[in-house]
Chains A and B, each alone.
Chain A
Amino acid sequence: MPNPMLQFEIKRFVKLDLFGLDASFTNSSLFMVIAVFLISLLTIWGMRGRALVPTRMQSVAEISYEFVANMVRDNVGSAGQKYFPFVFSLFMFVLFTNMLGMMPYSFTVTSHIIVTFALAAIVFIGVTIIGFAKHGLGFLKILVPSGVPAMLLPMLVVIELISYFTRPLSLSVRLFANMMAGHAMLKVFGAFVVGLGLIGGWAPLAFMVAFTGLEILVAFLQAYVFAILSCIYLNDALHMHH
């Protein structure tokens, strides 16, 4: 059986050394560039007509805008409209890299924890800075749950502190684990299809078709969850009611 982890290998296309840092142009970078290019194409070229009755491309662009705008409005409220462009970029980037990864022989950027962790760290650091900028040192009250007996408080503050600092970790590992596990499983079942041959290979093939459908759902769902959790963290920092 071929190694199911081989598909996540990073290949260097253009070697680039930036002051001792390895900044090579890899297949991962290539698919990030493709994703950003496709998102720009969808939003800029799709909205070029600005027609009252939208074309198909404009319709898709408007639907994705409305989808994220509703998400921000429901979870953060009117104070969050300032951060809508960030959440929209985050959602579209994760969605497009996940979906590009579903094409055979392509590369899934989000199946590497360093990529998802970088995204999650941007969210975490940004939200913390917004919280301190808005509330000053009062933002530390986010660690103190309200309506708790004073005796339990020291323990709960420690728990809240840990849970606050594991946010970027759980946010990144959730996306990374879902993408990696799905692709590794598809690879394993693909090996079953080849191994069982023409006679027995149909059963795992049928399973694979169904599982590919589930993976496309998961690809969308994880982008949605990533964006909505960013909205929830943002809401915590802006409004602070526990």
Chain B
Amino acid sequence: MEPEAAKFIGAGIASIALVGAGIGIGMIFSAYLTGALRNPSAAPGQFANLLLGFALAEATGLFGLVIALIILFVF
């Protein structure tokens, strides 16, 4: 295999990390909605935690994206 082709395949594999981020964000919002519909009065108090969880989950996937971009543009 040519090294150039291997580079693109590697970058594609590295961006699979975003699958995990997608699952994580979905789980956070589904759990928040489940809780909020059962006890709507407690929901506003947890909104900050929701945003924090969303941002943390998204970031882990983006670490994989950074690896992909490093493979593409640095090597």
Residues of chain A whose beta carbon lies under 8 Å from any beta carbon of chain B:
5, 170, 173-174, 176-178, 180-181, 184, 218, 221-222, 224-225, 228
Contacts and interface: CB of A to CB of B under 8 A. Distances in A.
Contacts of A180: 66, 69
B51 A177 contact: no
A215 B66 CA distance: 17
B75 interface: no
Contacts, number: 42
B62 interface: yes
Given A5-B73, A184-B69, A177 B55 contact: no
B58 A178 contact: yes
B52 A178 contact: no
Nearest to B62: A177
A189 to B, nearest CB: 15
Nearest to B66: A177
Contacts of A173: 59, 63, 66
Interface of B: 48, 51-52, 54-56, 58-59, 62-63, 65-66, 69, 73
B69 A225 contact: no
Given A5-B73, A184-B69, A222 B55 contact: yes
B55 A181 contact: no
Contacts of A177: 59, 62-63, 65-66
Contacts of B48: 228
Given A174-B59, A221-B55, A225-B56, A181 B73 contact: no
Given A173-B59, A224-B51, 9 more contacts: A174-B62, A177-B59, A177-B63, A177-B65, A218-B55, A221-B54, A224-B52, A225-B51, A228-B52
6 contacts: A173-B66, A174-B59, A177-B65, A178-B59, A181-B62, A225-B52
Contacts of B59: 170, 173-174, 177-178
